[in-house]
């Protein structure tokens, strides 16, 4: 593996991690909003 492909791989990895983090945050907020009414009943 040359340096260029390694650099590209790292960039893709960071992009994927950033997307995963955003998705987790979205899911966490949506799950909280869905759970709240259930707790109140």
pLDDT tens sequence for the chain (41 residues) = 578 899 999 999 999 999 998 888 877 676 665 665 655 55
Which ranges in 1-41 belong to alpha helices (H)? 3-40
Does the pTM surpass 0.85? The reply is: no
Q: Whose structure tokens read 């992009």? A: 15
Report residue 13 as tokens: 């990895």
């Amino acid at each position: 593996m040359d340096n260029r492909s390694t650099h590209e791989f790292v960039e893709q990895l960071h992009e994927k991690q950033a997307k995963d983090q955003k998705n987790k945050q979205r899911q966490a907020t949506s799950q909280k909003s869905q759970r709240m009414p259930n707790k109140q009943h």
